[in-house]
Amino acid sequence: MMDFQEAQRLLFVYLHEFANQFQRLPGSAIFLRYVKSSYQNDPVRSAVELFLFLFAVRYLLAPKYSTKPGIVALSEEEIDDLVEDWTPEPLVGPPSALEETEVEKRAVIVGPTGPKSKLSNGRTVTNLASYNFYNFNANETLKEKAIQTLRSYGVGPCGPPGFYGTQDVHMKTEADVAAFLGTPACIIYAQAFSTISSVIPAFSKRGDIIVADKGVSYAIRKGIQISRSTVRWYEHNDMEDLERVLDRITKEQAKKPLTRRFIITEGLFESYGDMVDLPKIIELKLKYKFRLILDETWSFGVLGRTGRGVTEHQNVDAAEVDMIVGSLAGPLIAGGGFCAGSEEIIHHQRISAAAYTFSAALPALLSTTASETLNILQTSPELIMQLRENIKVMWAQLDPRSDWVYCTSALENPIMILVIKPEVVSSKRLSVEDQQFLLQDVVDECLANGVLITRLKSLPDNVTPKQVVPPALKVCLTTGLTKREVEKAGTIIRHAITKVLSKKR
């Protein structure tokens, strides 16, 4: 047998021969120098690189296999038969009986929208179905400013804000809204609806917790759905139930990793018209350490002495609300929406909010219109007082004097939501569909007598737990009408309600 020394000698010879052959390869000197330097400085790194190299070699030499399932080959005749038998589903489902009736009788406005609007049939009616609360549509100063902006900037920026869509007028509007609300910063979006539905998922992700009012708007529900967060609902505007939910979440999360937690609510609720108890929510938010997203789509420009919203109306410092979301459409007759808050919150949205990064910027003329209307509200607080007076006149005609309906809106809300009284519903055994048909008859009766109003309409979703929004009429007040005209319109609406509901047995 070969002794140990002889084996060592042969191994040394083989290794020496291998080294000589390896050094003849092009680039071998560079490779050896790299390995020696790498091993000297960091041997762990050399080991990791060797492992990755061997893994790559093993992966490349592994046998290939297909991940596709077995495909059944079809003949041309079989393909033709399947194509002929296939019936595509309609993009839009068939209209309901109520929708067909509504479409047949829908009023079409010709020309500009105002307190007195002309219909396609030639009639002029009192328009109580638009959000032109301060009659800014007829303001000549705003029209002239919009025309000048259109001539200077064109129709639209044709680009997202983060690229070349941001213009100086956008930056001015953001500064104007922030100064108006008293917040450090503000960001504006091109669409009012997509503002809140983009703000929510920009901050709340999968695994985070959202506590939301069951009565929030459809846009908020869509934002909550997109976020994929854990959602806990509390009864509409019920502060005791809200505290119960917050307390339970706090106890459940006591021994779990920290998560971001948000309370989401509205200033004036779109589907009910009532007002949030903001001081109580601020108290609970601080007690249980939650962040607050407040949607002021319907309260911004309406509540408060100068229209700053529910924070001004209820004497709450705007800095105590983490995010204030609102609309530049509606009362401000511009377009788009905004989110106001700290510098960090605003900067985060500029790179993470889908509706900001992937949508064209707000047209310049709408941006300047928003700035001008904010200036008018600050310098002319009498407009808000006049609107409140018209609201009181309409309340006097409808809520206390009607045996059939009552108003669920706050006294300061120019959008009056009129719901059929529960005792009427029970005595006449009215289903939800019956109420919708009767209220549409009321709308038609009012239109026949020269007053245009509409019904409250809501969209279903699979996010919110079953929260039935009662069928209702929607009456929108405006400063463009005198008190006498508002009183006359209220009388017509009240008589139409009585006429239609008294016939139902």
Both tokens of 66, joined, read: 């297909």
CB 410, CB 275: distance < 8 Å = yes
Together in a domain, 351 and 308: yes
Q: Is residue 256 part of a domain?
A: yes
Q: Is residue 466 part of a domain?
A: yes
Together in a domain, 161 and 212: yes
> By three-state DSSP, how is residue 390 classified?
helix
Q: Which of 336, 362, 379 is the last residue of a domain?
A: 379
Q: Is residue 91 part of a domain?
A: no
Largest interatomic CA distance in the chain: 124
CA dist 92 and 244 (Å) reads 41
- Closest by CA position to 326, among listed 365, 382, 386, 270: 270
pLDDT in tens, 59-95: 888 776 565 666 778 888 888 888 888 888 888 888 8
Q: How far is CA 147 from CA 122, 190, 376, in A?
A: 29, 19, 18
pLDDT of residue 72: 75
Together in a domain, 494 and 385: yes
**Residues of the domain holding 262:** 140-379
**Total domains in the fold of the chain:** 2
Q: Is residue 71 part of a domain?
A: no
> By three-state DSSP, how is residue 119 classified?
strand
Q: Is residue 87 part of a domain?
A: no
pLDDT of residue 4: 66
Long-range contact list for 28-32, CB < 8 A, 24+ apart?
Answer: none
Both tokens of 264, joined, read: 């989401």
Q: Which of 379, 404, 435 is the last residue of a domain?
A: 379
Q: Which residues of the chain have pLDDT under 70?
A: 1-4, 15, 35-43, 64-70, 461-467, 505
Q: Is residue 313 part of a domain?
A: yes
What's phi and psi for 290, nearest 5 deg?
-115, 160
Q: Which residues contact 319 (CB under 8 A, 6 or more apart)?
A: 182, 183, 184
Together in a domain, 282 and 336: yes
Q: Is residue 63 part of a domain?
A: no
> By three-state DSSP, how is residue 463 classified?
coil
Q: Is residue 83 part of a domain?
A: no
CA dist 387 and 385 (Å) reads 5
Together in a domain, 281 and 343: yes
Together in a domain, 459 and 478: yes
Together in a domain, 195 and 306: yes
Together in a domain, 115 and 155: no
Q: How far is CA 305 from CA 136, 204, 373, in A?
A: 18, 33, 15
CATH of the domain at 250: 3.40.640.10
Q: Which residues contact 304 (CB under 8 A, 6 or more apart)?
A: 310, 311, 312, 313, 384
CA dist 250 and 261 (Å) reads 10
What is the secondary structure of 348-406 as a DSSP string? HHHHH-HHHHSSPPPPHHHHHHHHHHHHHHHH-THHHHHHHHHHHHHHHHHTTT-SSEE
pLDDT in tens, 262-272: 999 999 999 99
Together in a domain, 118 and 191: no
Together in a domain, 363 and 448: no
Together in a domain, 327 and 461: no
pLDDT of residue 45: 73
Q: Which of 362, 379, 396 is the last residue of a domain?
A: 379
> By three-state DSSP, how is residue 167 classified?
coil
Together in a domain, 425 and 280: no
CATH of the domain at 468: 3.90.1150.10
pLDDT in tens, 104-133: 888 899 988 899 999 998 999 999 999 999
DSSP-derived pairing of the beta strands 185-189 and 230-234:
unpaired
Q: How many CB atoms lie within 10 A of CB 448?
A: 13
Question: Helices 483-503 and 432-448, interaxial angle, to 10°?
Answer: 130
